[in-house]
Structure 1
């Protein structure tokens, strides 16, 4: 019982002194002045005892303490016979200690709530049914079952459709639907039917294990402004004593000295500043951003140059299937090759497997269960699917002898586009090439624009990738400079060069980013998919898989720092003015104590406004609008195969005889499905965007491309109607030109929709389409070339 009271000592002291003050006022109002004075005296003695204990503790730590002012004010109130003033000071002292304790506890709670849902057990799927096991025993490749309401035990890949409550990580209350083949994170909760998943990480390497470690590091350390406030509060002590001594000496009245001591309050310095900073840390923790202390928050607010890694930061970090290339007139269609590949990849935990399975599901294909599966690291995977032996991997592992010309062409295209390739052989014969790309996050361009508006003056991309894909991503996102081909030492050099000109923020997610994160003014790590060395080196960690959370974090940090400065300026300004009035003899000790209480409450109230939501980068939508966006995005995904068919049909018109039947079949889908979808977006999607982003000007570009798509489909329709079934080369040139032009418009339009509209609800865009269209000039630097010049 005694131990529990000690843990709640601030609450007990505040309650006791407040009750004694109120009781004394009630007794005084009833004419019982002696009893009232006794109640106030008791409160004053309690406050005196508390301040004495804090002074002794500070002396043992060899630290200066401003509690000497409160001690002198309490003792002076007793000396001049003003127990009411002493009681008011005691209430203020106890209330300040309680507020500080509660603010720190609130921050600890908001951080710890991220870790409290860490899973403890998992259920492995066996031939005899699910078997419960400790989560630490799960290994990558295990098939697990997650029941309704259960926590996902480790990071993994879905084998079935799943609906997950991700609010613990993202703060979004609405459940998110995931398709088979998509990645899921440990710590989220199954909000739908039971599903199966393949583990892709151990418990130690999964998302929530990293969160637990991060919480241990994220205790609120003093920010530079808070440390300045502490030093200023200590310097405030001799100034107060000097003013009180002067007032006494000039007037000969000790009451004036006591009045100065009573009204002197460094609480705006001691409490308001840390409360504002801690409130900012608390708000960010609720949004899935862990800030490792007040110093990190203040450096985040001061940042002026933003440096990004590319892969997994500005890009999704998850490959997306963009195309399946098959030989002209080959025995298997692209869809069949994808279906067989997805069937085989269902049993793999490889990074590319999920993308292939998800692409097959998106296209309405039903992968069959594989048999005789054998996977060798670095050499691909093979097995039997629907009676056919399928082998996926590198060209050297899947094709015997020289590569066919169509495969060489596919590999050349992949090199130019920066794509990944998976070569497929069926029954020992080359069957197809699967191209995958790491797409730009749809939220990234809007996030960069928001950061520029918030005060970031320069944005730099620093990546180990080749110059062409790095330059493309840089132009899409809108950076000022690109440094490509950088190893960890190069990234460190770039960060130090930028840090010499302005405070920097470095954002990354890989092990090779750790030195740069540590060297930057503030390092920000993306750890939504597990803990890495970057999380340990960073000052700020995003445990949500949303890069736009960074913009909200910067806005919150800057707002909290402004509030801290405002609270201190207002509180200390009023306190100094009240001290001068008291020194002039115009303020009694009792009135001074009441005024001091009001100043403290006002300064702390200003600091607590940091807990109130401020301006955000992310947009809040009405539930009905969210439902509409989800429906339109589902249709948007269904249109992707139709868009890709435009280019495939155009490619098929390269050699005579030119058969236009595939073009006519495509036109049927364009008229009946694609145009209907675009008209639905014009009627439903654009009004939502206008409401969310502030006017129809935000939607004018999309509206114009809707009109252009309809125009181009109409031109293609009229051109094909004028041609016979067999066309000559000149006719086909016109058709191909129209098809390629339409394809370019459709790809650009889809990217614009995903960035400008569907990214308003981040969980919607889980597998964004790759960006190939770009604008805005960037300065490109090649780290490899710079190293050669330096040597």
Structure 2
């Protein structure tokens, strides 16, 4: 049934074209009676389909300019203007098919994601391999990824160096190389040699599953501009009926009223706006920026203030291991090897840093067992028969044997500390640093180039660190030591300068992302509250994509308004000409068809790169 509804615009357009052509051929052969019958049947069939759609819309509380199309076809048939009725029928059915085709082309970059969901995976069960549904994959499983396969869940590379095609996720055309210990996202395609993957998340919580959910929601949404178009459609319907009534009242000529109705069918506002909005969303998706709905695109186009988190946003979010401080009886390589072996099973950002550092030092990593992770606090498990605990100082201290203590640490600015315990004893601390992104300064300049008037840093880090980083980047303001509640207050205060966009990547950013006019999350991992709350998700770890997305949104909105206004002005002029008798119903129908095709083709310009 759903498939039939999808095919209906094409079937209806084909029938209307056939009826119009058959009537034209009959008329050319001197059979005007057969021509009139062919045009009558063509108009009547489309009218029945149109009335059915109108009834369905009215029952769901919607009324639009489809009523004008139905009225003009009906009046034309009543007046014996069968050719005009057939042309309007073809115009309506062809317009629906053209809009369907245009939307389908605009959605291409988004819908390409939906057909790539992996269904099964090869998993090690002891010494054997078994094919299991991806729903059965659990954190800690070891799966074999073969060349050409789509990675079904988020995981970690267990050995060697691999190459993945990330183009479906990020728009990046070239394969990306990942080393042992690196976390790889679901939805990527293996283009190199097979490798073993350690599962980090189940299928429902993985990156690709969340992207699919976001795409599906985006495709169902309607932009405020589109809803506004519906309201204008009612006004346009009323104006059309008044003008048609006046034309008949002053001339007593029903064909003039019919010509007005024909020229007003259908409204370019309704055709152009959704095509331009979806085109802009698709263009952004091709650049690795997933806009959840048309409302997000419109809000993105209006942004004047950008509020940026620091850690993981303006900083690289890719900490590097620096110093390893050891307690008596433990060596740095032992601490790092055991901690990294355990952290292979964690998706935390510091876990990847530890694994990367251990692999870089040539340390052998064992597979962990009996893993228990407390999100945001730490992880514990067995590695080579030893009980290992890795995480924050408080978490690790709570797992120490009675009488054991972790020494307090004094660390440099912009340094994070990971505590490690082995067999209930404090083993030491691993120090990590996270530097400001190399492209952060260029991104700030790019934001200003696309019309952003004010850039602000808002972070939970120490105020002196935040102020120093903001001054280095030339930002307009900086706020540090912020709780999630105080970040919300910063967003509210910045609204005095215009619509606000908030960019963040952590759970603590979720409230601010929800309050901002546009919330942008970095990363689409399913378990991240930020990606669920945000209006826009940056799929690739590249801040420079955001100014591009703002430019795309501005252009798409401009094209939508341009197409709608131009179409309405042209239609309005043609309606006035028809009211004064300068356009017959047939000529008016042909003129309106040209207008509708023009505004849809103009709306599709939002798919192309700006010239």
| Coarse TM-score class (shorter-chain normalised) | 0.7 to 0.9
Q: CA deviation at 1:176?
A: 0.9
Q: How does 1:317-396 map to 2 (within 5 A)?
A: 317-323=317-323, 337=332, 341-342=336-337, 345-349=340-344, 350=346, 351=348, 352-362=350-360, 365-369=361-365
Conservation of the 8 A alpha-carbon contact between 1:169 and 1:287:
no
Q: Check 1:157–1:476 CA distance in 2 against 1; reply closer, same or farther (3 A cut).
A: farther
Distance in 1 (CA, whole Å) between partners of 2:294 and 2:379 is 49
Q: How does 1:580-659 map to 2 (within 5 A)?
A: 580-614=576-610
TM norm structure 2: 0.86
Q: CA deviation at 1:68?
A: 2.8
Distance in 2 (CA, whole Å) between partners of 1:63 and 1:401 is 68
Tell me the equivalent position of 1:44.
43
Tell me the equivalent position of 1:13.
12
Q: Check 1:17–1:115 CA distance in 2 against 1; reply closer, same or farther (3 A cut).
A: closer
Q: CA deviation at 1:572?
A: 0.8
Choose 16-25 or 200-209, whichever is displaced more.
200-209
The yes-or-no answer on 1:420 pairing with 2:417 is yes
TM norm structure 1: 0.68
Distance in 2 (CA, whole Å) between partners of 1:614 and 1:289 is 17
Aligned pair partner of 1:453 in 436, 449, 456? 449
The yes-or-no answer on 1:518 pairing with 2:514 is yes
Q: CA deviation at 1:599?
A: 0.9
Conservation of the 8 A alpha-carbon contact between 2:380 and 2:388:
no
Task: Summarize deviations over 1:507-533 as a string: whole Å, max 9, x none.
Answer: 222222222122111222223344322
Distance in 1 (CA, whole Å) between partners of 2:76 and 2:152 is 61
Conservation of the 8 A alpha-carbon contact between 2:420 and 2:426:
no
Distance in 2 (CA, whole Å) between partners of 1:190 and 1:141 is 20
The yes-or-no answer on 1:490 pairing with 2:490 is no
SS, match of residue 415 in structure 1:
coil
Conservation of the 8 A alpha-carbon contact between 2:210 and 2:525:
no
Tell me the equivalent position of 2:273.
273
Distance in 2 (CA, whole Å) between partners of 1:596 and 1:20 is 19
Q: CA deviation at 1:434?
A: 4.4
Q: Check 1:447–1:27 CA distance in 2 against 1; reply closer, same or farther (3 A cut).
A: farther
Q: How does 1:103-182 map to 2 (within 5 A)?
A: 103-104=102-103, 110-125=109-124, 128-160=127-159, 161-182=161-182
Choose 255-264 or 271-280, whichever is displaced more.
255-264
The yes-or-no answer on 1:568 pairing with 2:532 is no
Distance in 1 (CA, whole Å) between partners of 2:557 and 2:339 is 54
Distance in 2 (CA, whole Å) between partners of 1:341 and 1:402 is 17
Distance in 1 (CA, whole Å) between partners of 2:219 and 2:547 is 22
Tell me the equivalent position of 1:193.
193
Choose 38-47 or 583-592, whichever is displaced more.
38-47
Q: CA deviation at 1:429?
A: 12
Q: Check 1:130–1:547 CA distance in 2 against 1; reply closer, same or farther (3 A cut).
A: farther
SS, match of residue 346 in structure 1:
helix
Say what the alpha-carbon RMSD is for the aligned residues.
3.6
Q: How does 1:470-485 map to 2 (within 5 A)?
A: 470-485=466-481
Tell me the equivalent position of 1:666.
none
Tell me the equivalent position of 1:236.
236
Q: Check 1:4–1:482 CA distance in 2 against 1; reply closer, same or farther (3 A cut).
A: closer
SS, match of residue 219 in structure 1:
helix
Task: Summarize deviations over 1:415-437 as a string: whole Å, max 9, x none.
Answer: 33434356799xx999x964311
Q: Check 1:189–1:22 CA distance in 2 against 1; reply closer, same or farther (3 A cut).
A: same
Q: Check 1:163–1:587 CA distance in 2 against 1; reply closer, same or farther (3 A cut).
A: same
Q: Check 1:119–1:69 CA distance in 2 against 1; reply closer, same or farther (3 A cut).
A: closer
The yes-or-no answer on 1:207 pairing with 2:207 is yes
Q: How does 1:613-762 map to 2 (within 5 A)?
A: 613-614=609-610
Q: Check 1:339–1:287 CA distance in 2 against 1; reply closer, same or farther (3 A cut).
A: farther
Q: Check 1:5–1:201 CA distance in 2 against 1; reply closer, same or farther (3 A cut).
A: closer
Q: Check 1:341–1:288 CA distance in 2 against 1; reply closer, same or farther (3 A cut).
A: same
Q: Check 1:242–1:391 CA distance in 2 against 1; reply closer, same or farther (3 A cut).
A: closer
Aligned residues: 596
Conservation of the 8 A alpha-carbon contact between 2:505 and 2:521:
yes
Task: Summarize deviations over 1:304-334 as a string: whole Å, max 9, x none.
Answer: 111122223233333222456899xx999xx
Tell me the equivalent position of 2:83.
84
Tell me the equivalent position of 1:26.
25
Tell me the equivalent position of 1:68.
67
Conservation of the 8 A alpha-carbon contact between 2:380 and 2:387:
no
The yes-or-no answer on 1:96 pairing with 2:91 is no
Task: Summarize deviations over 1:592-643 as a string: whole Å, max 9, x none.
Answer: 111111111111111121222337xxxxxxxxxxxxxxxxxxxxxxxxxxxx
Which is richer in helix?
1
Conservation of the 8 A alpha-carbon contact between 1:140 and 1:200:
yes
Conservation of the 8 A alpha-carbon contact between 2:19 and 2:39:
yes
Structure 2 alignment gaps of length 5 or more = none
Conservation of the 8 A alpha-carbon contact between 1:488 and 1:515:
yes
Tell me the equivalent position of 2:294.
294
Q: CA deviation at 1:570?
A: 1.0
Task: Summarize deviations over 1:466-497 as a string: whole Å, max 9, x none.
Answer: 22333344345442222211112111111122
Distance in 1 (CA, whole Å) between partners of 2:180 and 2:482 is 36
SS, match of residue 601 in structure 2:
helix
The yes-or-no answer on 1:259 pairing with 2:259 is yes
Structure with higher RCO (Cα < 8 A, 6+ apart): 2
SS, match of residue 201 in structure 1:
coil
SS, match of residue 219 in structure 2:
coil
Task: Summarize deviations over 1:686-735 as a string: whole Å, max 9, x none.
Answer: xxxxxxxxxxxxxxxxxxxxxxxxxxxxxxxxxxxxxxxxxxxxxxxxxx
Conservation of the 8 A alpha-carbon contact between 1:340 and 1:390:
no
Q: Check 1:31–1:322 CA distance in 2 against 1; reply closer, same or farther (3 A cut).
A: farther
SS, match of residue 547 in structure 1:
coil
Q: Check 1:451–1:64 CA distance in 2 against 1; reply closer, same or farther (3 A cut).
A: same
Conservation of the 8 A alpha-carbon contact between 2:559 and 2:606:
yes
Q: Name the larger-Rg structure.
A: 1
Q: CA deviation at 1:573?
A: 0.8
Conservation of the 8 A alpha-carbon contact between 2:325 and 2:332:
no
Distance in 1 (CA, whole Å) between partners of 2:371 and 2:465 is 30
Q: Check 1:462–1:252 CA distance in 2 against 1; reply closer, same or farther (3 A cut).
A: same
Q: CA deviation at 1:89?
A: 0.8
Tell me the equivalent position of 1:678.
none
Tell me the equivalent position of 1:442.
438
